[in-house]
Structure 1
Amino acid sequence: MKIKSPEFGTVEVADDRIIEFPAGLPGFEQCQRFALVHEEGREAEVFLLQSVDDPEVAFSVTAPARLGVNLEFVLSDEDMALLQLDDAGKIDEVAVVIIIRSQKSEEAGPAGAGLSANFMAPLVINTRARLGMQKVISRLGCEITLRQQD
Structure 2
Amino acid sequence: MQIRSPEFGTVEVADDRIIEFPAGLPGFEQCRRFALVHEEGHEAEVFLLQSVDEPEVAFSITAPMRLGVNLEFALSDEEVALLALEGVDDVAVAIIVRSQSAEEAGPASAGLSANFMAPLVFNTRARKGMQKVINRLGCEITLRQQD
Letter in 2 for 1:38: H
**Separation in 2, partners of 1:54, 1:17:** 17
**Separation in 1, partners of 2:85, 2:145:** 32
Instruction: Indicate the residue corresponding to 1:47 in structure 2.
Output: 47
SS of the equivalent of 1:50 reads strand
Instruction: Indicate the residue corresponding to 1:141 in structure 2.
Output: 138
Q: Which runs of 5+ in 1 are unaligned?
A: none
1:78 deviates by: 0.3
**Separation in 2, partners of 1:36, 1:95:** 13
Instruction: Indicate the residue corresponding to 1:74 in structure 2.
Output: 74
Instruction: Indicate the residue corresponding to 2:61 in structure 1.
Output: 61
**Separation in 2, partners of 1:84, 1:26:** 20
**Separation in 2, partners of 1:149, 1:104:** 24
Within the alignment, does 1:119 sit opposite 2:119 as a pair? no
Question: Over the residues paired in the alignment, what is the CA RMSD in angstroms?
Answer: 0.6
**Separation in 2, partners of 1:81, 1:61:** 24
**Separation in 2, partners of 1:128, 1:74:** 19
**Separation in 2, partners of 1:60, 1:29:** 18
**Separation in 2, partners of 1:141, 1:2:** 40
Q: Which runs of 5+ in 2 are unaligned?
A: none
SS of the equivalent of 1:96 reads strand
TM-score (norm 2): 0.99
1:91 deviates by: 2.0
SS of the equivalent of 2:136 reads coil
**Separation in 1, partners of 2:144, 2:138:** 19
1:92 deviates by: 1.9
1:40 deviates by: 0.2
Within the alignment, does 1:97 sit opposite 2:119 as a pair? no
Aligned length: 147
**Separation in 1, partners of 2:85, 2:46:** 26
Letter in 1 for 2:48: L
Letter in 1 for 2:61: V
**Separation in 2, partners of 1:135, 1:125:** 10
Instruction: Indicate the residue corresponding to 1:19 in structure 2.
Output: 19
1:38 deviates by: 0.2
Runs of 4+ in 1 over 3 A off after TM superposition: none
**Separation in 1, partners of 2:110, 2:137:** 25
1:107 deviates by: 1.6
1:67 deviates by: 0.2
Letter in 2 for 1:13: V
